[in-house]
Amino acid sequence: MTGSEFDAVIIGAGTAGLSAGAILEKSGLSYIILDKKKEIGVPVRSTGAVSIDWVRRIGMPTDQSIVSAEINSMSFRTDTGNKISLSYDRTVGIVYDFTKYEKFLAQKMAGKLNTRLETRVLSVKGNQIETESGTITGKKVIFAAGPQSSFGKKLQKNEVLVAYEEIRKAEPRKDYQMVLWFSDKAPGGYFWDFAESMDTRKVGVCYYPVTGRQPKDVLHEFDESFPEIRGECISTMAHQIPLGSPAEKVVAGDYLYTGDMVNAVLNTTAGGLQGAFWTGKAAGEAVVKGDAGLYQIKWDSEIRPWLMKHHNLHRRMHRKGVKSISRLMTLAKFMPMSVKKKVFGGL
């Protein structure tokens, strides 16, 4: 093979692409990961919160050097006053330092991956991947280009959340490391306050952009009623989160689609890192075994059912906005504590 021919070309060096790359790196097959960005892990693309049970189950990294906070108590609230709060005697979630986390995936999890940055993919025709700096051939192409990529399905307003987060200078909360507020001001999503460091917290909002209002304005308006989340803003992050039904087909011939491109996002929490990691890994494994169809089988039998459970619950939760969430919270209060802890801690 020449320097521009690979067994697999991966488009996107986010969680999904890097997770696929880690599998290929270990296999000895030739591969390359292309990304338009200048640096792995920049810009920050995620709050980085994940449930520890799932992280362990699918083999995501837990190295202390990439974890900025651990979660062992959490509170789910409505802005109308209902709430469920839980404390655990163990860590149930972690918050990654996102830049360190992506760099870890690219450099340490399986060794240094073969990435080519500052390389925008312009088009893909057959096995030819046209980039700004020339054409590359891939026997298989793993698409991991994130939400709203021109290589994926165009999402409608009711299929994608806008998300905005500020890192704020503020002391850690004394009560919980994670608070989510559901509100009609954030249809389909929620406001959040996550622990980050001893003097910073991550405060944000995500919602279906049906009102046309800017997320920054929506978050700042929320601050007025909840002064506990106020603090000097140090940095901001904004992006989109696909939030609809997971795709049915993830493989088409030599093409394998992963991560946000196939809506591998847990609709209840808008968490997509685990789905991105799992789909990237499954796509990589299928390529290594020489049968792309194995990825579709894994998707149909394990990944999609997991996502569908969250998708259906999300629809129930938000059917009548905050009213239905409040009702479900009231019902959940009658669950035995052990069940409640398992359900909420495993999200």
Ligand X SMILES: Cc1cc2nc3c(=O)[nH]c(=O)nc-3n(C[C@H](O)[C@H](O)[C@H](O)COP(=O)(O)OP(=O)(O)OC[C@H]3O[C@@H](n4cnc5c(N)ncnc54)[C@H](O)[C@@H]3O)c2cc1C
166 makes contact with ligand X (CB under 6 A): no
**For the window 20-39, what string marks contact with ligand X as x by the rule CB under 6 A?**
--------------xxxx--
CA distance 136 to 53: 39
In whole angstroms, the minimum distance from the beta carbon of 166 to ligand X comes to 10
79 and 85 Cβ atoms separated by less than 8 Å:
no
Q: Which of 6, 7, 10, 48 binds ligand X (CB under 6 A)?
A: 48
User: Which residue of 50, 84, 219, 329 would you call a contact of ligand X, by CB under 6 A?
Assistant: 50
**Least distance to ligand X from the beta carbon of 77, Å?**
17
Long-range pairs of 31-34 with CB within 8 A, sequence gap ≥ 24: 31/6, 31/7, 31/114, 32/6, 32/8, 32/114, 32/115, 32/116, 32/136, 32/138, 33/113, 33/114, 33/115, 33/116, 34/9, 34/10, 34/115, 34/116, 34/119, 34/121, 34/129, 34/131, 34/136
Smallest distance from ligand X to CB 277, Å:
8
106 binding ligand X? (CB under 6 A): no
Task: Please report how close the Cβ of residue 15 comes to ligand X at its closest, in angstroms.
Answer: 4
Residues 183, 222 contacting (CB under 8 angstroms)? yes
Neighbours of 299 (CB within 10 A): 28
> Judged by CB under 6 A, does residue 256 bind ligand X?
no
Nearest to ligand X of 13, 167 (CB atom)? 13
Contact segment (CB under 6 A) with ligand X among 173-181, 227-235, 237-245, 323-331 equals 237-245
Query: Which residues contact ligand X (rule: CB under 6 A)?
Result: 11-17, 34-37, 45-50, 120-121, 144-146, 149, 163, 165, 204, 237, 239, 241, 259-260, 265, 271-274, 276
